[in-house]
Structure 1
Amino acid sequence: MAHDTVSAADAGTWLLGDLKVNRIGFGAMRLTGDGGAFHLGTPSDRSRVIGVLRRAVELGVNHIDTAAFYFSRLRSANELINSALAPYPDDLVIATKVGPARDASGEWATAARPDELRGQVEENLRQLGRDHLDLVNLRRMRQDSIAEHFGALAELRDAGLIRHLGVSHVRPEHLAEAEAIAPVVCVQNRYGIDAPAHEAMVRDCAARGIAFVPFYSIAGQGGEAGAAGAESEQVLAVAAAHGASPAQIRLAWTLHQGAHVLAIPGTGNPDHLIDNLAAGALRLTDEEMTLLEQPGGPQV
């Protein structure tokens, strides 16, 4: 693929509430460490990561997904974003999420109670250097009902600390619970070529005008540890036809699921950033989409 005129705008735009974003954004989870998830591996090279963030914005990225619990021993994703981008561009939308909790040593703690969510919101505000958050997603842990937690965030929205609300890791009944309390502008669930369990939610969000923001769309079965080494013959065949990488085909497939679907690939590598953004200009045929959606397939 030629990368001469790469722009995040190539994938089109969507409204998160009243905030227009390019459909291909940037996920901050991998900013803090090399070699897997945000809390694993060796600390990232600070200057390189700051350069990647600035380059992303230069190339049209105006939707960054982060969280205060994205930190490793020596790096904090929010602090890196603050250092790289403040004072923030007027059109930059920073989405964060609350619910999971880690202690100062990095160990996972019990999920936040509803009365602890304000502290998590304020922690994000401090780290990002903001007086309000553009979008906060409630990341459901294992609770059957999210009403009490989402209600606590709705109160913070009414108080002016949050502009828009979303939900993450939810089923349809949780989305209905949330919508009964306050407007929901996005749903973040795991979704990808080989993780299609939430197809009904994708369609439901489209019907409701809600953004669907999949995570691990590149990593597939690898999850937070990163992309698995094996790829199906279908993905490899489509990648070869476009002169693209398997990761780019996975991103393109994600964006082809509907105008309301947003991609948030993340990387601390400047070359991977360009590759990810270039995927927004890929156009897959109906035949290629059908091929990619065939179950199974040889792993090579």
Structure 2
Amino acid sequence: MPSTARAALAGRTVFRVGFGAMQLDRLSDDRAAALALLRRAVELGVDHVDTAQFYGNGFVNDVLRDALRAGDDFLVASKVGADPDPGAPRPIRLAQHPENLRASVEDNLRALGLDCIPLVNLRRADRGPGLLAEGDQLVDLDDQLATMTALRDEGKIGAIGLSSVTLDVLRRALPAGIACVQNAYSLVSRDDEDMLELCVAEDIAWVPFFPLGGAFPGLPKVTEEPAVQAAARALGHTPEQIGLAWLLQHAPNVHLIPGTASRPHLEANIAAAGIAFDEDTLAALDAIPTRSMDAALG
């Protein structure tokens, strides 16, 4: 892989294609397959995993604990701000209060078998897609950051990230020392270009979720764009790989966390780091219009 395939994240230099572990829950009835998939990711050079205790009601963290070994030198990123809610239409519920954040960090530490989680993202709920904060879950950012910085000072977390936030929230949080931002972002939904530019200027990693769009009904899909399909045909790759490769080439601080429960998809996702576009192809992709995610969701 080229040298640009690695970049800084939470004080470490890691491979820019990590593994989003949420979809491991699809293998909850085949634990051996989940373990094998994680070990294959390590073999292919992945050294950054994104998880949460509310993924699979603890199943995902439990598998990670068994799959990762001391010699793997893995950066584990988890998130707080929601708790499992098994049996509900959406199997998570917001848990935004400071005491919830601390309890979730402790739950993650126990489940992962770690003394310190290298990176913990505060999952706010300021914007969609997904759950939005309302009622008693509208919690002041300063109160949340006070808890997160205390946990960092105590050595229970290594760095603080933010997820599902607005540009204003990021600006307010900068004095706390923010290592990364996770927001929905893709080639076809570039609402947060100003936030990405701020992250570049502040040396903050940008970790987009829903990197191919289309995660909710009504959202545009990267793979349906004619320019993406044309690039895939010309370069001999899949449209999904083209969408991931564009993100990596769009800004130097981008890290990907595509999730899958399939070994072929895992290998294809990782191979996207080796794709390079010529000027004409990149210009054609850059010219794809962005559609506002908020507008698409109505």
TM category (shorter chain) comes to: 0.7 to 0.9
- Deviation, 1:157, is 0.5
**SS of the residue 2:55 aligns to:** coil
Q: Please tell me whether residue 274 in structure 1 is matched to residue 259 in structure 2.
A: no
Match of 1:81 among 64, 75, 78: 64
| Separation (CA, whole Å) in 1 of partners of 2:3 and 2:265 | 17
Q: Deviations over 1:239-289 (max 9, x none)?
A: 001100011001101101111111111111111111111110000123222
Amino acid aligned to 1:125: L
Q: Distance in 1 between matches of 2:216 and 2:277?
A: 24
Deviation by residue 1:32-80 (Cα, 9 ceiling, x = unmatched):
116xxxxxxxx453212211100111111111010011116xx711111
Q: Structure 1 residues 176, 296: closer, same or farther in 2, change over 3 A?
A: closer
Contact 2:7 2:15 (8 Å CA) reproduced:
yes
- Which of 18, 21, 36 is the matching residue for 1:28? 21
Answer whether contact 1:10 1:281 (CA < 8 A) is retained: no
Structure 1 equivalent of residue 214 of structure 2: 221
Residues 144 and 254 from structure 1, CA distance in 2 versus in 1: closer, same or farther, beyond 3 angstroms? farther
Residues 1:296 and 1:187: Cα distance change in structure 2 (over 3 Å):
closer
What is the TM-score with the length of structure 1 in the denominator?
A: 0.85
Greater helix share, structure number: 2
2:80 corresponding residue in structure 1 = 98
Q: What is the RMSD of the two structures over their aligned residues, measured on CA atoms? A: 2.5
Alpha-carbon distance in structure 2 between the residues aligned to 1:195 and 1:226: 9
In 2, Cα distance between the equivalents of 1:188 and 1:229?
Answer: 19
**In 2 relative to 1, CA 130–252 (structure 1 residues): closer, same or farther, beyond 3 Å?**
same
Change (3 A) 1:113 1:267: same
Pick one of 250, 255, 261 that aligns with 2:248. 255
Superposition pairs of residues 231-250 of structure 1, within 5 angstroms:
231-250=224-243
Residue of structure 2 in register with 1:208 after alignment: 202
TM-score (norm 2): 0.85
The equivalent position to 2:122 in structure 1, one of 132, 138, 161, is 138
CA distance in 1, matches of 2:35, 2:164: 29
Match of 1:118 among 102, 109, 122: 102
Q: Read off the aligned partner of 2:32 and give its amino acid letter.
A: S
Give the AA of the match of 2:112: L
Change (3 A) 1:166 1:228: same
